[in-house]
Structure formats: C-alpha cells, structure tokens
Amino acid sequence: MVRRSVLLIQTTELKILLRRLFIAVLFFCSIFFILLSTVDSPLTSGINKAALRITGPIMQVVEYPARILHRAYTYLYDISRIYLDNRELRAENKQMLILQNKVRSLEVENQLLSRLLNYTPPPEANFISAKIIAESSDNFTHILFVYIGDEDVKKGQIVLGEESVIGRVDTVSGQYAKVILVTDINSKIPVVVERTRARGILSGDNTEMPSLIFTRSTADIQEGDVIVTSGVGGMFPAGLPIGFVSLLQNNDIKVETLADISRIEYVRIVDYGLSTEQVKIFDGSSESGTDER
C-alpha cells in the first residue's frame, strides 16, 4: 500500500515536470520562430512558404463557417433595415400624397377662381386639438368621443385627422363631444372628384370605406381619383381632402379615407366660421344637376 502511494506521488510529480518542460519548450520555440521570422534568408522564406501552404487550406476551411455566419447576419441586418426604410417611405409617401392633394386642389381652385370677378375669400379657420377617449364602430354606428375641455366647440364643426376630413361634430356636452365619422351610415357629404370636378355624395355605410353615390352615369371617375368636399349645402368648406377612389365596380364606387381612422389618437376640430344656420345635416338627396349612377 505504501509502495503504491509512493509510485502515485512520483507519477504526479513526473507529470508536473513534463508539463512545465512542455510549456518551456513551447515558449522557446515561439521566441525562436519570432526571431527567425525577422531574419530575411532563403531558409526562412522557404519555411514561411511551406507553413503558409500547409496552414492556408486549413484556415480557409476554418474560416468558411465564419463567412457564412457573417453573410447571414449581413443579410438579416439588411432585411431589417429595408423593413424600417419601407415604413419610413410609407409615412413619407402618405405625407407627400397629402401635400399633392393640397397642391392639386389649389391648382383647380385657382383655375376656377381666375374666371370669377367678385370672389370673396373664405374666412380663416381656427382649430383646437382634442384627444379621442372612446370609439364606437359596429354595425349601427361609427362615432368617436373626444375630450375638448373648456374650448368653444359647436355642432357641425369639421373634424380632421392627419390633414384630411374624418367627420363632423354631432353633439357637444360639457367637456366632451361626439363626432360622426365619414364612415357612419348617417354621414352624407357633398363631394367632387378633384380631377374632373364630377359631383356626388359620399355616403357612409358603417364599413371602413364609404360609398360615392348620386354621380352622373357619364361621369369620368377612375380608381385613384382624389375625393374632396364640394362646399355645396354649407356643411363643409370646398376643397378639403377626404380620400380616394379605391374600388370601381359596376355602380359601386368605394372611397378609402386618407386618414387611417383606426390609428388616430388626436383629432383637430376646425371652425371655418360657418353659422349654425349654414351647418345643415345633409339628408342624402341628390345635388342639383346630378342623377344616381
């Protein structure tokens, strides 16, 4: 038993000695090769070339998975950047569309006004911002409830979201107001097609896209045409953008609103100076000179 213990101790000491010797040999070899690499001689050049010839393919094989991982990471990173860029471009395109609609509306308005001699410009608009506190979107109503505080808000005033019409004030009670959206079945707005000035009525039907009705059967209406308020009936000033024609099928014309109503948190309630007598709830009857499509 004593002999085994002695042998075990001697073996352990031998392993420690060999390990230290191996480390020392590696250290001196490293110093030797470093010094050798600084010497410019045919022997050194040959050794370097031989080492490179041997280690090159090995390094290439070892590096291959790293290159694959790097390419995969770059690809995923590029995809994420493209996704973010697309979101930003969509937002910019939406803003550009709004600005384009404004420019088109102003161009058409200038052409019409240039033919008039006694034109009286509309009054300047005042507006307040209001936070949406509740929404009711079902088969019967499409309305919003907004907090207006102590601001002077009246029935019939226009409600904008992201620079386009989304509805009008229907009821004011204390510090709150009820807004009827353009998609509500009770909403009837006289509108025109901005490109051709064809008149019609934008009628809500409690879906996400209201319908354009009471247009002439010969009216030139195409998908993508911008729909703006006509000003007829005294309910809305002329030229306010609402949406664009999204579906044109037989006698069914659907309009997609410029503003994404489901994502809006704040609205602007605009006072265009219309009196209570001027603000009339449009009953959906045909405008003068139009017939149902």
Task: Output the pLDDT for position 220.
Answer: 87
Place of tokens 């060999």: 18
Q: Is 71 left (phi over 0), alpha (psi -120 to 50) or beta?
A: alpha
Tell me the percentage of the chain whose pLDDT exceeds 70.
71
Which of 217, 224, 211 minimizes the C-alpha distance to 198?
217
Q: Is the pLDDT of residue 105 over 90?
A: no
The better pLDDT of the pair 136, 189 is held by 189
Q: Is the pLDDT of residue 127 over 70?
A: yes
Q: Across-strand partners of 193?
A: 227
Decide if 211 contacts 254 (C-beta within 8 A).
yes
The better pLDDT of the pair 130, 119 is held by 130
Q: What distance in Å separates the CA atoms of residue 258 and residue 246, rounded to the nearest whole number?
A: 11
Q: What distance in Å separates the CA atoms of residue 275 and residue 290, rounded to the nearest whole number?
A: 27
Decide if 108 contacts 194 (C-beta within 8 A).
yes
Q: Hey, what domains does the chain have and what are their CATH numbers? A: 126-271 (2.40.10.340)
Q: What distance in Å separates the CA atoms of residue 66 and residue 77, rounded to the nearest whole number?
A: 16
Instruction: Calculate the CA 153 to chain-centre distance.
Output: 31
Q: Is the pLDDT of residue 47 over 70?
A: no
Q: Is the pLDDT of residue 210 over 90?
A: yes
pLDDT tens figures, 129-183 = 999 998 887 777 889 999 999 888 988 899 998 778 999 999 998 899 999 999 9
Task: Output the pLDDT for position 282.
Answer: 41
Task: Output the pLDDT for position 271.
Answer: 85
164: CB partners within 8 A, 6+ apart: 98, 101, 240, 241, 242, 243, 257, 258, 259
pLDDT tens figures, 234-251 = 778 888 899 999 998 877
Q: What distance in Å separates the CA atoms of residue 22 and residue 16, rounded to the nearest whole number?
A: 10
Q: What distance in Å separates the CA atoms of residue 30 and residue 147, rounded to the nearest whole number?
A: 78
**What's this model's pTM, rounded to 2 decimal places?**
0.55
Q: Which amino acid belongs to residue 115?
A: R
Structure tokens, 53: 């010839």
Task: Output the pLDDT for position 209.
Answer: 92
